[in-house]
Amino acid sequence: MKFKKLAAIAATVVLATGIFAGCGSQSTSSNSSSSSSSSSSKKKVIGYAQVGAESGWRTAETASIKEIPKLDPNFDLKFSDGQQKQENQIKAIRSFIAQKVDIIALAPVVETGWDTVLKEAKDAKIPVIIVDRNVKVADESLVTAFLGSDMEEEGRRAAKLVIDHFGKDAKLNIAELQGTVGSTAMIGRQKGFNEAIKDCPNYKIVKSQTGDFTRAKGKEVMEAFLKSDGDKINVLWAHNDDMAVGAIQAIEEYGKKPGKDIFIVSVDGIKDMFQLMADGKSNGIVECNPLLGPQLLETSKQVLEGKLKYKKVISKEGVFTQEQAKAELPNRKY
């Protein structure tokens, strides 16, 4: 009885980005081929319902997922790009069910609205692994495992970069570029940041709007912020790097110096942002790990063998200041 209960409790493990980045091709592929190369059985198929191609982070994640068949020739991948639309992702899942894939992996664009289609997957006895952002479902048995980041923690870390620089008592007017509304990445980062600045009586979020995680919208929204409150804003908090990259262009076009006149923090850690930070145009990056392919492969194997170790695997991620940017740039893998 006790044993059963223990086994049923979802375990959470924290793993280092470095481990995944390093273990990538060699160790994962050699392990797996030795364990199942003798059989001539059919390849296992993972159906991946991706969000879209909205950001540098996403491009890196897609590339990492597409590595799976190279890491382990016993696996095939069916990949669908949802173009940031939930209805496309639902269609993709239904098509994976019809094709009888072995595993469905979903990077959900938003958190809610998945109950029906995930129940269909469960009824078809196809395990579902949620990757990157999370889902909110009434019946937790619809989800076999989750791999991704702690988005609230990322928001808290972004706030800490600001607090460490200015101090708790500074008077700040903060402009916030939100990610896709309703996504875990947006909800969690906003919540974490706002909680962390609660003890800073003079920090004010004066502007807050979504830029949908893209460079183009980040630029457009920042232009509008500057037009109405240009001389007031002294901090930009962007839920991802790409929106910050767009906003930096807008700030320069407006005639201000990004990284100096406006202190900038963002989440992800893509190379372009590290370069801008090394150039003095941004001030802080909270890392978010997109290199989830090797982990998805490993978790899929465990699920298919009935040996799932952890229901939740949270990536371990770093924080970088402007002073660290130059030294870190050559190490970036995405």
Where on the chain is the footprint of ligand GYE (CB under 6 A)? Answer: 54-55, 57-58, 132-133, 185, 213, 240, 242, 267-268, 288
What is the side-by-side order of every strand in the sheet holding 44-50? 12-16, 312-316, 145-148, 128-132, 103-106, 44-50, 75-81
For the CB of residue 126, give the shortest distance to ligand GYE in the complex, in Å: 23
- What are the start-end ranges of the E strands in 75-185? 75-81, 103-106, 128-132, 145-148, 172-178
d(CA 322, CA 296) in angstroms, rounded, equals 32
When the beta carbons of 173 and 275 are compared against ligand GYE, the nearer one is 275
What is the DSSP code (8-state) at residue 267? E
When the beta carbons of 32 and 190 are compared against ligand GYE, the nearer one is 190
For the CB of residue 267, give the shortest distance to ligand GYE in the complex, in Å: 5
When the beta carbons of 57 and 263 are compared against ligand GYE, the nearer one is 57
d(CA 5, CA 155) in angstroms, rounded, equals 34
Indicate the helix (H) or strand (E) that contains 320.
Answer: strand 319-321
For the CB of residue 239, give the shortest distance to ligand GYE in the complex, in Å: 7
When the beta carbons of 74 and 214 are compared against ligand GYE, the nearer one is 214
For the CB of residue 183, give the shortest distance to ligand GYE in the complex, in Å: 6
Contact 33, 308 (CB under 8 A): no
When the beta carbons of 172 and 221 are compared against ligand GYE, the nearer one is 221
For the CB of residue 104, give the shortest distance to ligand GYE in the complex, in Å: 18
d(CA 278, CA 284) in angstroms, rounded, equals 10
